[in-house]
């Protein structure tokens, strides 16, 4: 049981914030279809009461424990039983949920358009017409009619799932077509499809690197990169974020096989890797390079191939990883690389070999997304106009967006407690924006993260920026 910190038994009521009540006037928002709507609040039926067999309600947690504790306080449990940590965690979490953690995983009731309806998990209200700054749908492709039609057609032919590992019965003609089209788009010899982007990083890193080797990653590397390193049992080295001197220092000290891993656009900060310098260092120190293009593929570069194209470095990066869950609006991941690397990973990437292939209908939808991405460069042009507009509005209002150079725009709060209060107010003021807290970022680095889409209208961006600046303004000291 985590020890009581301050000895007080009082416990604050969950933060209420100036939430608007049902029927109160709300600021107008534009719908994802471009219609002007009122965002409004609909009260839902309360959740079912606890059944008699359900565990008893947890004991009250003290206020210090509630607001200062986080997941790190519940990593280790004492004794012999791995379940010993569950009860104290639940005691804390039941109240922490109401206090703010409820903001994670609130269900959407609409497609991830530029406005969405969300079930607010604390008061069980449906909040309608919220400006959506939280979805990765950077090109608005997940709900394009052409994409839906392609997926529906394949669904009718192939059914729901692939029903097999890709090396056994799970590869369909649609998968082969998608991987060929993707390799052609990326300009690499081959591409290997994975069920998720997470699985792609895990499979590529652990499939290639061995105990005694070194994996040198940016300190802000995504969890799937970190877990890939852990799984590989190679020696990890983390260099300071985008700090080339530190990368060089680490490379100089590693005597053995080396893989450097960076992200094209950093997922929580929106800044871009200094790829020309990284490529140069990798050549000098004979290290291989993996670039995770989860947030940059299909967006950066004249053809949309990613930051590798953006910097004119095609042919100089050994492994390009990416996901289908962001710009293409589907699910899945890929490794684009040489024919020899791909055929090796086909045997050694365990998250590829021992996991079911992505559903064929998803592959069909992704082929259509990729076709639209190639045929409509205006989508990228619109995205970059939107990014420029929103970044300008936020920076102009004095909001700290860090060093963002992309559609990923952090709004730094750096207060792990206040972020929940702000999140609640933003939600009720008409903006769907997720708080990002430890363990997704370091402690005291809490932020909101905006995802801009090509589909956002100018009015949505202006209205969203206005709401954010009003809510943050109320809390600035
Ligand atoms: C940088 C980065 N790499 C990999 C992933 C994993 O991708 P997926 O969600 O498709 O599994 C993410 C997901 O957010 C990411 O941000």
Mean pLDDT within 430-447: 94
Catalytic annotation, pick one of 258, 326, 428, 456? 326
Q: Does residue 15 have a pLDDT over 50?
A: no
Measured in angstroms, how far is the CA atom of residue 270 from the centroid of ligand 1?
Answer: 14
Residue with the nearest Cα to atom 7 of ligand 1?
197
- For the question of residue 267 being annotated catalytic, the response is yes
Q: What is the percent of the chain where pLDDT is above 90? A: 84
Q: Is the pLDDT of residue 463 over 80?
A: yes
Q: Whose CA is nearest to atom 9 of ligand 1?
A: 197
| 198 token code pair | 């997470």
Residue with tokens 């890193």: 205
Bridge partners for 290 per DSSP: 261, 319
Q: What is the pLDDT of residue 61?
A: 80
Residue 325 alpha carbon, nearest atom of ligand 1:
10
What does the alpha-carbon distance between residue 73 and residue 81 come to, in Å, rounded to a whole number? Answer: 17
Q: What is the pLDDT of residue 249?
A: 98
pLDDT at 17 over 60: no
Give 336-380 pLDDT, tens digit per residue. Answer: 999 999 999 999 999 999 999 999 999 999 999 999 999 999 999
Residue-wise pLDDT tens digits, 182-205: 999 999 999 999 999 999 999 999
pLDDT band at 477 (very low <50, low <70, confident <90, very high): low
- Retrieve residue 398's tokens: 């004095």
Task: Decide if pLDDT at 263 tops 50.
Answer: yes
- What is the 199 CA–ligand 1 centroid distance (Å)? 9
Domains of the chain as residue ranges with CATH: 30-59+100-132+379-475 (3.90.1150.10), 145-375 (3.40.640.10)
Mean pLDDT of the residues in the chain = 89
Kindly name the residue from 15, 135, 267, 355 that is annotated as catalytic: 267
| Mean pLDDT confidence for 166-187 | 98
Q: Whose CA is nearest to atom 16 of ligand 1?
A: 267
pLDDT in tens, 31-44: 343 333 455 666 66
- Other beta carbons within 10 angstroms of residue 407's beta carbon come to 28
Q: Is 203 in the pocket of ligand 1 (CB under 6 A)?
A: no
Give the confidence band of 286 by pLDDT, cuts at 50, 70, 90: very high
Summarised one tens digit per residue, pLDDT across range 97-135 is 999 999 999 999 999 999 999 999 998 899 999 999 999
Query: Rounded to whole angstroms, what are the CA distances from 69 to 63, 73, 348?
Result: 10, 6, 40
What is the mean predicted confidence (pLDDT) over 443-456? 97
Least confident of 21-30, 266-275, 316-325: 21-30
In sequence order, the β-bridge partners of residue 217 are: 238, 261
**Pocket lining: 294 vs ligand 1, CB cutoff 6 Å:** yes
Q: Does the annotation count 295 as an active-site position?
A: yes
59 has pLDDT over 80: no
| Residue 260, H or E segment | strand 258-263
Residue-level pLDDT at 43: 60
Please tell me the predicted confidence (pLDDT) of residue 386. 98
- Helix (H/G/I), strand (E/B), else coil: 37: strand
Does ligand 1 come within 6 angstroms of the Cβ of 222? yes
- Residue to mutate, 294, 295, 297, ligand 1, most ligand atoms under 8 Å from C-beta: 294
- Pair type for strands 319-323 and 333-337: antiparallel
Distance from residue 376's CA to the centre of ligand 1 (Å): 24
| 399/14 Cα distance (integer angstroms) | 27
Regarding beta strands 435-436 and 447-451, do their DSSP bridges make them parallel or antiparallel, or are they unpaired?
antiparallel
The answer, yes or no, to whether any atom of ligand 1 lies below 6 A from the CB of 188, is no
Does 241 qualify as catalytic in the annotation?
no
């Amino acid at each position: 049981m985590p020890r009581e910190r301050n000895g007080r038994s009082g416990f604050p009521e969950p933060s209420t914030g100036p939430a608007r009540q049902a029927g109160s006037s709300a600021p107008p928002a534009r719908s994802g279809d471009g219609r002007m709507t009122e965002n409004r609040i609909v009260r839902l039926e309360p959740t079912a009461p606890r059944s008699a067999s359900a565990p008893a309600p947890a004991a009250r947690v003290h206020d210090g424990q509630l607001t200062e504790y986080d997941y790190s306080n519940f990593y280790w449990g004492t004794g012999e039983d791995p379940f010993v940590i569950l009860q104290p965690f639940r005691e804390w979490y039941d109240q922490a949920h109401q206090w703010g953690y409820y903001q994670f995983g609130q269900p959407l009731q609409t497609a991830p358009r530029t406005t969405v309806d969300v079930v607010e998990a604390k008061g069980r209200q449906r909040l309608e017409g919220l400006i959506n700054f939280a979805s990765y749908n950077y090109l608005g492709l997940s709900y394009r009619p052409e994409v839906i039609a392609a997926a529906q057609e394949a669904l009718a032919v192939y059914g729901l799932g692939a029903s097999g590992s890709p090396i056994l019965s799970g590869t369909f003609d649609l998968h082969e077509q998608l991987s060929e089209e993707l390799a052609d788009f990326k300009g690499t010899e081959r591409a290997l499809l994975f069920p998720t982007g997470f699985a792609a990083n895990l499979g590529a890193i652990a499939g290639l690197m061995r105990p005694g080797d070194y994996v040198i990653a940016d300190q802000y590397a995504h969890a799937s990169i970190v877990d890939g390193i852990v799984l590989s049992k190679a020696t990890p080295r983390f260099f300071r974020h985008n700090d080339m001197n530190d990368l060089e220092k680490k490379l100089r000290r590693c005597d053995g096989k080396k893989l450097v891993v960076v992200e094209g656009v950093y997922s929580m900060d929106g800044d871009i890797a200094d790829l020309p310098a990284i490529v140069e260092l990798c050549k000098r120190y004979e290290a291989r390079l993996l670039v995770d293009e989860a947030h940059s593929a299909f967006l950066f570069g004249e053809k949309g191939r990613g930051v590798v194209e953006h910097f004119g470095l095609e042919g100089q990066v050994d492994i390009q990883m990416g996901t289908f869950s962001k710009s293409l609006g589907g699910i899945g991941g890929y490794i684009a690389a040489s024919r020899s690397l791909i055929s090796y990973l086909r045997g050694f990437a365990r998250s590829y070999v021992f996991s079911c292939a992505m559903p064929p209908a998803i592959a069909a939808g992704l082929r259509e997304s990729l076709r639209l991405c190639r045929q409509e460069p205006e989508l990228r042009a619109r995205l970059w106009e939107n990014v420029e507009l929103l970044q300008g509005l936020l920076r102009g209002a004095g909001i700290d967006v860090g060093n963002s150079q992309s559609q990923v725009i952090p709004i730094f709060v750096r207060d792990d407690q206040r972020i929940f209060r702000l999140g609640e107010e933003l939600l009720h003021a008409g903006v769907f924006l997720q708080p990002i807290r430890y363990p997704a970022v370091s402690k005291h680095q809490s932020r909101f993260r905006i995802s801009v889409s090509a589909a956002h209208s100018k009015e949505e961006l202006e209205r969203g920026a206005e709401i954010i600046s009003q809510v943050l303004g109320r809390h600035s000291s």
